[in-house]
Amino acid sequence: MQPIEPIPTTLTRAVRLFVERHPSPNGAAVPAHNTYAGYPSSGGLGAWYEFEISVFGIPQRSSGYLATLAELDGCVRQAALPILQSALFFEATSAQVTPRGLLATIVEAVQSTLAPRLESLSWNISPFHTYRWDRAMPQISTLTAVFEFAASHRLNDPTRTVAENQAFFGKCNKLNGHGHNYHLEVSVAVGHASSFGMAQLEQIVDEWVIERFDHMNLNIDCPEFHSMNPSVEHIASTCFSLLSDPFAHAGVELRKVRLWETSKTSATVEHDRHPIVK
């Protein structure tokens, strides 16, 4: 049998770290006992962050590696820790430092070691807020925020008989409907020269989607679904349509909307594809 040649592959690694004013008492290296939770470990007050780094290329045949995990971990920590420590605790102008600006500086430091393999770097500043740099759009940052709203709906197709609707939609066709706690992920592309930030993203989504749908019966209270079944696919596409113009007027581009109906079911609408995936 002919050996299979390696093909281009993306490797992604999560790197978690804790940023303190004084990382160690004497400047000595801190032992790594739990890098899953984060390294350096938390010894006092500070900030915990997670980065996701992706590298792209053809793995070495002998090792099978694009990069060692130690290389990725070390590269991100060496780049990010001093920049974040300075911004959080020592910069006189820290109030003006933005996450997008800091991410760009961290990317430059990481690229000095990993270029041209570096594909993307995401900074999860909380479980619900992400800033992302991608090699395909080097002058753009992608901002992602997660929201929650509660709503009820009933799935019913007026072209089907009562029996056909019950057979097709099952419990989702019950007369009085049922509810979900929806999770909504919204991603926008922002140019490096723009002042647009996470607070403006959240304001627009809250005004145009959350206030419109939260604690509503979608079939009855929301005109968008008077003639359209409020499936997770249709809700996601409606959210995308509602948000596109407000973000464009704010000078940024809506890239993706992903709506989770349950922990197992979601629908996604993307700017450059426009399908709904369930």
The catalytic residue positions are 172, 215, 261
Per-residue pLDDT at 268 = 96
* pLDDT score of 9: 93
Residues 1-133: name the CATH superfamily. Answer: 6-pyruvoyl tetrahydropterin synthase/QueD (3.30.479.10)
Divide the 278 residues of the chain into consecutive groups of 10 and give the mean pLDDT of each group. Answer: 80 94 59 81 87 94 88 95 90 70 94 92 96 94 98 95 94 94 98 93 98 97 94 96 97 97 95 56
Instruction: Report the pLDDT value the prediction gives residue 96, as an integer from 0 to 100.
Output: 63
Residue 167 exposed, middle or buried by CB count within 10 Å (0-12, 13-18, 19+) = exposed
User: Domain locations in the chain?
Assistant: 1-133, 136-278
Domain 136-278 falls in which CATH fold?
Tetrahydropterin Synthase; Chain A (3.30.479)
Topology agreement, domain 1-133 and domain 136-278: yes
* pLDDT of the residue at 43: 75
- Model confidence, pTM: 0.88
10 Å CB burial of residue 153 (0-12, 13-18, 19+) is buried
Q: Which residues pair with 130 in a beta bridge?
A: 124, 144
pLDDT value at position 256?
A: 96
pLDDT at 30: 65
Q: Please, are residues 58 and 6 in contact by the beta-carbon 8 Å criterion?
A: yes
